[in-house]
Structure 1
Amino acid sequence: MANPQKQYMEFHTNIRLGRYDEENTLREKRDLLIDTLKNELKKDPSGPQFLESFNQGSYALGTGIKPKEGDYDIDVGVLLDCDKDSYCPVEIKKIVAEALEHNNRTLNIRKPCVTVTYIKNGQPDYHVDLPIYAEDTNQNMYLARGKEHSSAEFKVWDISNPTELTETILDKFKGDARSQFRRCTRYLKQWRNEKNNLAFFKSIAITSAIYEYLDSSDYENDNNTILSLVNSFLDNFIHYSIDEETSQTYFRLVINLPAHEGVDLLENLTKNQMDILKNRLEELKNSLEQVNEESDTVEACKVLNRTFGSQFPIPEINQVSESTPEAIYIQDGKSA
């Protein structure tokens, strides 16, 4: 049985968001925006004031991958000192967007955040997502949700705890386990990006599912680990549901958000989307099993190249031997 672990590690290096040019630029954009926001909000002492900012999402977890279209991003939570009951969440986001207006960037009020995009040669180059939060008297954090033209029921303050989410996920995995968690998360994000009709399978859902199902002590065979994860995904299509439009019955996958009891990240997926996800996962399972059945590393890598895309390397015949290649480990670190 071939074990293309060396090629998996090269693949991880190929897709992993770098710690140097890209991350330094993202940090510079983040720091500039936060400084600007602090200073602009101070000009109106009676309005919302800046309290703190914190990294969240893939940047905080160290699970970022290089974007397919080159539009690098970072999630930076912003906690404001304001009474959420006195402000519509979209009103708060408009205040933030207006404070950050500048001629070299565009601002967009999206449902979960304010997105600041930097343009280069007429194309998006980098963007910073700024989810906006407020606290109640018990220090519970609430996320401002809603877009400018959303109906009233979609303009809400949702209870949320992003820093606890990051801590919960990272506290579960230490050492080699954390490195493998990050690798597997990146692999599945890249796989998702290679499939044209899987955009609805969001990164936070992938990350949370791996948090739930990753249980491996074999750090030298990522193919087996990914296969085990995919089997767990498929085994958990057990939640009975009825399609509202067709009244057809079907089974769906539930992925719960860590540290947020009762939050199903796939709750809004339709029957058709669930069917697509299940079919794609079954295709992935078949490919990974085919790799395990291969005795030739080159042929195994050809399967993985078709599965994960051109970033997965196919070695020359003279680069592999009959023996199982040893895993190559690199310092994982925390990157975007």
Structure 2
Amino acid sequence: MAFCKKQFEEFHENIKLKEENEILSSKRDIIIKRLKDKLPDQTAYTFEIFNQGSYAMHTGIKPLDDDYDIDVGLYFDMSKDDEKPVKAKNWIYNALEGHTSDVKIKNPCITVTYAAGYHVDITVYAANNGDGKVYLAKGKPTSMSQDKRWDKSNPKDLIKEIRDHLSDKDDRKQFRRVVRYLKRWKDEKFNSGSGKPTGIALTSCVYHWLNIQKDTDLFTGNSSYRDLDALICTVSEMINRFQNEWVEVDGEYKWMPRLKVYLPVDPWPELFEKMTSKQMKSFKEKLEVLLDDLEDASAKADPTDAAEILKKQFGDDFPVPPKSTTGKKAAAAAVIPSSESARE
């Protein structure tokens, strides 16, 4: 059985954000300074700035298209009834206009794009509401009136829940690695258009359904993590949780598979809701192919053969060792295999 431990370690290093964090951080810091300087001219409301998204949750990966991004949130000391959402987003746009040649108000955020391919997304929140909730400004100037709204959100609790998930720090590292593996698989196997599952949806799948896979040495107590097995268990659980729904497709009703996963914090939205029945069917089929290849790789005796299979799913960043380095098998240590649920 091939675990491809070294190959997964190298793969993780290949896709994990490292030095790019410094570049993203510098872009963020420049924008934050500009906001602090310019926003008081736009509004009298005070605000708090914080990092969010995969950067803040420590689950970011290198994008295949080199379009690196970082998400910044602004908590304004106001209620959703004090201001219109698009007006609040215009404060940000006016403060940042001219910073680069490409500053746009989008539906969920304001995006500042740099010529080098980096972009920063800024989201606006009304954080002082009578119900104690936080609301996200949605819509853009050209949106229909019903799409200009304040949506209930909870970014800070989400960041903390994902970033601090699992009490054992080494278990948490496997959780983050599995998230990154599935994000890269998504980027390899789905087009950039509609039908691509979101990163937070896959992160939530791993949050809810990962079973930690590791071996613990009887003599030293040290643990060795089996990421391939962790992937197999997670993907298998995702597939098993699909349920058939009776829905209309192309003018006729059919049984179609659908997976539902919920954000692990209030307001607990269903994160695959926007995927159509056809897109969901394609998603399930791709997951089934992934699981077949993961299991085929695990069954191989030689890591080279296993890595060749895994590379088909995860792309060129997954290393394939030459045969000459995989012929010898190390003596097996006395270990206790462990499979621990990541669900709380």
Structure 2 residue aligned with 1:185, among 165, 168, 179?
179
The Cα offsets for residues 224-281 of structure 1, whole Å up to 9 and x where unpaired, read as 1101000010011026342365332323100101112441011111111001100000
Structure 2 residue aligned with 1:102, among 94, 98, 105?
98
CA contact (8 A) 1:241 1:252 kept: no
Matched positions, count: 318
| Residues 261 and 157 of structure 1, relative CA distance in 2, 3 Å threshold | closer
| Residues 153 and 42 of structure 1, relative CA distance in 2, 3 Å threshold | same
Gaps of 5+ in 1: 327-336
Determine if the alignment matches structure 1 residue 42 to structure 2 residue 35: no
- Normalised to the residue count of structure 1, the TM-score between the two structures is 0.89
Gaps of 5+ in 2: 215-223, 333-344
Partner of residue 142, structure 1: 135
Give the Cα–Cα distance (whole angstroms) in 1 for the partners of residues 330 and 109 of structure 2: 47
Give the Cα–Cα distance (whole angstroms) in 1 for the partners of residues 255 and 306 of structure 2: 38
Give the Cα–Cα distance (whole angstroms) in 2 for the partners of residues 98 and 316 of structure 1: 56
Q: What code does the residue aligned with 2:183 have?
A: K
Stretch of structure 1 that moved more, 192-201 or 293-302? 192-201
Give the Cα–Cα distance (whole angstroms) in 2 for the partners of residues 163 and 192 of structure 1: 25
* 1:24 positional shift: 1.4
* 1:171 positional shift: 3.1
* 1:209 positional shift: 0.7
| Residues 107 and 281 of structure 1, relative CA distance in 2, 3 Å threshold | same
Name the Cα RMSD after superposition: 1.9
| Residues 56 and 134 of structure 1, relative CA distance in 2, 3 Å threshold | same
Structure 2 residue aligned with 1:194, among 188, 192, 195?
188
Determine if the alignment matches structure 1 residue 90 to structure 2 residue 112: no
Q: What code does the residue aligned with 1:16 have?
A: K
Helix, strand or coil for the counterpart of 1:147?
coil
- Normalised to the residue count of structure 2, the TM-score between the two structures is 0.87
CA contact (8 A) 1:89 1:157 kept: yes
| Residues 194 and 325 of structure 1, relative CA distance in 2, 3 Å threshold | farther
Give the Cα–Cα distance (whole angstroms) in 2 for the partners of residues 325 and 26 of structure 1: 44
Matches within 5 A, 1:149-228: 149-173=142-166, 174-197=168-191, 200-218=196-214, 219-228=224-233
Give the Cα–Cα distance (whole angstroms) in 1 for the partners of residues 121 and 99 of structure 2: 18
CA contact (8 A) 1:192 1:198 kept: no
| Residues 14 and 325 of structure 1, relative CA distance in 2, 3 Å threshold | farther
Partner of residue 333, structure 1: none
Partner of residue 24, structure 2: 26
